[in-house]
A and B are shown apart, each in its own frame.
Chain A
Amino acid sequence: MSDPVIRINKMNKWFGNFHVLRDIDLNVAAGEKTVICGPSGSGKSTLIRCINRLEAHQEGEIEVEGVTLDGSLKNLEEIRSNVGMVFQQFNLFPHMTVLENCTLSPIWVQQKSQAEAETLARELLERVRIPDQADKYPGQLSGGQQQRVAIARALCMNPRIMLFDEPTSALDPEMIKEVLDVMVELANEGMTMLCVTHEMGFARQVADRVIFMDEGEIVEENAPEAFFSNPENERTQLFLSQVLTH
């Protein structure tokens, strides 16, 4: 594999006095698909939110494509424009149409013209299979459609890395598949993806690596095959037996 695009070294984070992330070491190669799972409160969401500094870490280093995340605003801007993010609650802007949601970043951050941004947005909406909803407002769409818009919106930044924070947890079961299909397609196109999810089927299908976290630590990481069939660790096994039985 090529040089890592994300390099996390001995990273620690506290919320007040609560030690949420403990000595995290993680390297992600270009094009690699990583699935992060673990019980709630294990710090998995906080970990990926540190990568684009929605949360600031206190110790250790995070480097994205050679740019270090420190207090510097310039570095932060550079990293954010390379990293797209999809949230559990979609977080679409309810006062803007689907198209306006998608063109916001291209116009205001990447200084594209409106026409150019709209062409790009429509292209990507087509790719997530909702080309005909461009002029509707988020409130008029189903949850699955909203999440696909959120993916298209993130892709409009033309990011090299995509972060997914439990993208299907807020969805009704019948909508999960339509979102996962889009994510699988994206994976097949070679996007670098970090995905916090409990969808083990998705992990088996696309992940190059599965990471299991508990109490703010990486407990185990392995290729999906080995991870599911032969977990090294008792804690992992317990967790898997709980998620896979239902």
Chain B
Amino acid sequence: MSSWTPTAPRPAPSNTVGFVAWARANLFATKLDTALTLLAFTLVVYVVEAIFGWAIIDASFTGDDRTACLKEVQGACWPFIEAKFGQFIYGRYPDAERWRVDLVFLSGLIGLIPMLMPNVGFKRANMIYLLGFYPIFAFIMLNGGMLGLATVDTTDWGGLLVTLVVAITGIVASLPLGILLALGRRSDLPIVRALCIGFIEIFRGVPLITVLFMASVMLPLFLPDGINFDKLVRCLIGVALFSSAYMAEVVRGGLQAIPKGQYEAAAALGLGYWKTTHLIILPQALKLVIPGIVNTFIGLFKDTTLVLIVGLFDLLGIVQLHFTDASWATPETHITGYVFAGAVFWLFCFAMSRYSIFMENHLSTDRTSS
């Protein structure tokens, strides 16, 4: 009997690997491809050149008022952003008290970063910190009026601070509300189910702006004389209710994906409805829909800009407000402001979407390894 020795593998022929082969396969495979590549290349060069010229070459970088940005060929007016930066981040929050906002940002990050890393432990303690301690701490710090802190009225809050307050409150409130609504929608109790379906379908069927109008114009009518909510709080309620309806549908998707066997197994162990839901079903269902949840968060984050329509000054609102400052009125002020605000929003949303993709991959490897 002979024994077999495999032929040594040869490297692929040089015309199939390397940059030239890559370019031939991926850029110039056919005549149509070549044409498309050239077209796309022209487009890219044109756009990049225009952006580069506007943002750097023709831009102004220093100056104290509009005169810095009135060149013959004027690009971005960056001094406007520099001058207003504090306003864009804190709104009219008093200068002397801004350290409080910084502290709230910082303590939020301290809680959030380990929470987002799947391999760091102490998730339960972390959760208690973020959902129990942090909101109270943030409220006391931002609002003041106790512990010797001066009260800062919410009408003075603005900029990125308001954007984050609205977004984070919406996120924190919409998740539990959404879970309850999703459970209610699958409940065996017809009245509860009907109420939940009604709530979800109504809020998903109307634009957020009408909900905000309702919160800002109609809500005061529904409350007894003399009781009045802060405008920010009214908007927070509107945003939270609105996004909880979307969250409910995402969670419902996860609940539907749990096999019947899980319920039967839980029942066989003698667990009741709440214990089954809390210990067996929700942990699995929520894990399945993490990407959907993050997408809802991204949508919510973008939607916070709508509060400017009812008179709050979030990041976009405050940028818009400062366009009226006559000492900075130039033809490029608007675009510069929008590009700045857009870049900030983009960073947050893009980071969230990348995180969602990361979690999706992480979870799918989790599943295959178990």
> CB–CB under 8 A between A and B in the complex?
yes
* Residues B1-26 near A (CB distance < 8 A): 1-4, 6-7, 9-13, 16-17
Say yes or no: B6 contacts A214, CB within 8 Å.
Answer: yes
Please, how many angstroms separate the alpha-carbon atoms of A16 and B25 in the complex? 12
- Interface locus among A98-106, A181-189, A233-241: A233-241
Which listed residue, B1, B2, B3, B13, touches A59 by the CB 8 Å rule?
A: B13
- A22 on interface, CB distance cutoff 8 Å: yes
Say yes or no: B12 contacts A233, CB within 8 Å.
Answer: no
Say yes or no: A232 contacts B16, CB within 8 Å.
Answer: no
Please, how many angstroms separate the alpha-carbon atoms of A235 and B3 in the complex? 7
Tell me the smallest distance from the CB of A98 to a CB of chain B, in Å: 30
* Residues A41-61 near B (CB distance < 8 A): 58-59
State whether A19 and B12 are in contact (beta carbons under 8 Å apart), knowing that A232-B1, A234-B1, A237-B1 are contacts in the complex: yes
Please, how many angstroms separate the alpha-carbon atoms of A234 and B10 in the complex? 24
Please, how many angstroms separate the alpha-carbon atoms of A59 and B7 in the complex? 16
- A63 on interface, CB distance cutoff 8 Å: no
Which listed residue, A217, A233, A236, touches B7 by the CB 8 Å rule?
A: A217
Please, how many angstroms separate the alpha-carbon atoms of A231 and B4 in the complex? 12
- A225 on interface, CB distance cutoff 8 Å: no
For B2, B6, B12, the residue with the greatest tally of chain A CB atoms inside 10 Å of its CB is B12
- A23 on interface, CB distance cutoff 8 Å: yes
* Residues A197-228 near B (CB distance < 8 A): 214-217, 219-220
A235 closest partner in B (C-beta): B4
User: What residues of A have a CB within 8 angstroms of the CB of B9 in the complex?
Assistant: 18-19, 22, 216
State whether A58 and B12 are in contact (beta carbons under 8 Å apart), knowing that A215-B6, A217-B6 are contacts in the complex: yes
Tell me the smallest distance from the CB of B182 to a CB of chain A, in Å: 29
Say yes or no: A219 contacts B17, CB within 8 Å.
Answer: no
Please, how many angstroms separate the alpha-carbon atoms of A17 and B7 in the complex? 16
Say yes or no: B1 contacts A19, CB within 8 Å.
Answer: no
Say yes or no: A19 contacts B10, CB within 8 Å.
Answer: yes
Say yes or no: B2 contacts A232, CB within 8 Å.
Answer: yes
User: What residues of B have a CB within 8 angstroms of the CB of A22 in the complex?
Assistant: 7, 9-10
- A93 on interface, CB distance cutoff 8 Å: no
Tell me the smallest distance from the CB of A102 to a CB of chain B, in Å: 33
State whether A58 and B2 are in contact (beta carbons under 8 Å apart), knowing that A23-B7, A217-B7 are contacts in the complex: no
**Number of B interface residues, CB 8 Å?**
13
A14 closest partner in B (C-beta): B12
B1 closest partner in A (C-beta): A234
Please, how many angstroms separate the alpha-carbon atoms of A193 and B203 in the complex? 62
Which listed residue, B2, B4, B12, touches A17 by the CB 8 Å rule?
A: B12
Please, how many angstroms separate the alpha-carbon atoms of A217 and B6 in the complex? 8
Please, how many angstroms separate the alpha-carbon atoms of A58 and B16 in the complex? 8
Say yes or no: A233 contacts B2, CB within 8 Å.
Answer: yes
Please, how many angstroms separate the alpha-carbon atoms of A192 and B13 in the complex? 33
* Residues A102-119 near B (CB distance < 8 A): none
The 0/1 profile, CB within 8 Å of B marked 1, for residues 10-38 of chain A is: 00101011110011000000000000000
Please, how many angstroms separate the alpha-carbon atoms of A203 and B10 in the complex? 32
Please, how many angstroms separate the alpha-carbon atoms of A216 and B9 in the complex? 9
User: What residues of A have a CB within 8 angstroms of the CB of B4 in the complex?
Assistant: 214, 219-220, 233-236
For B10, B11, B13, B17, the residue with the greatest tally of chain A CB atoms inside 10 Å of its CB is B10
Please, how many angstroms separate the alpha-carbon atoms of A23 and B10 in the complex? 10
The 0/1 profile, CB within 8 Å of B marked 1, for residues 67-87 of chain A is: 000000000000000000000
Please, how many angstroms separate the alpha-carbon atoms of A234 and B6 in the complex? 13
B12 closest partner in A (C-beta): A14
Which listed residue, B10, B13, B17, touches A16 by the CB 8 Å rule?
A: B17
Tell me the smallest distance from the CB of A20 to a CB of chain B, in Å: 9
Tell me the smallest distance from the CB of B325 to a CB of chain A, in Å: 58
Please, how many angstroms separate the alpha-carbon atoms of A233 and B17 in the complex? 35
A18 closest partner in B (C-beta): B9
User: What residues of B have a CB within 8 angstroms of the CB of A237 in the complex?
Assistant: 1
Tell me the smallest distance from the CB of A230 to a CB of chain B, in Å: 9
Which listed residue, B6, B7, B16, touches A14 by the CB 8 Å rule?
A: B16
Please, how many angstroms separate the alpha-carbon atoms of A19 and B2 in the complex? 24
Please, how many angstroms separate the alpha-carbon atoms of A220 and B4 in the complex? 9
A237 closest partner in B (C-beta): B1
User: What residues of A have a CB within 8 angstroms of the CB of B3 in the complex?
Assistant: 233-235
Tell me the smallest distance from the CB of B328 to a CB of chain A, in Å: 56
Please, how many angstroms separate the alpha-carbon atoms of A216 and B6 in the complex? 9
List, sorted by A's number, 29 A–B pairs whose CB atoms are closer than 8 Å. Answer: A12-B10, A14-B12, A14-B13, A14-B16, A16-B12, A16-B17, A17-B11, A17-B17, A19-B9, A19-B10, A19-B11, A19-B12, A22-B7, A22-B10, A23-B7, A58-B12, A58-B13, A58-B16, A216-B9, A217-B7, A219-B4, A220-B4, A232-B1, A233-B1, A234-B1, A234-B2, A234-B4, A235-B4, A236-B4
Q: A19-B9, A19-B12 are in contact. List 20 more A-B contacts (CB 8 A).
A: A14-B12, A14-B13, A14-B16, A14-B17, A16-B17, A18-B9, A19-B11, A22-B7, A58-B16, A59-B13, A217-B7, A231-B1, A232-B1, A232-B2, A233-B1, A233-B2, A233-B4, A234-B3, A234-B4, A235-B4
Q: Give the interface of B toward A (CB within 8 A).
A: 1-4, 6-7, 9-13, 16-17
Q: List the 6 shortest-distance A-B pairs measured between CB atoms, nearest first.
A: A19-B9, A14-B12, A215-B6, A235-B4, A234-B3, A233-B4
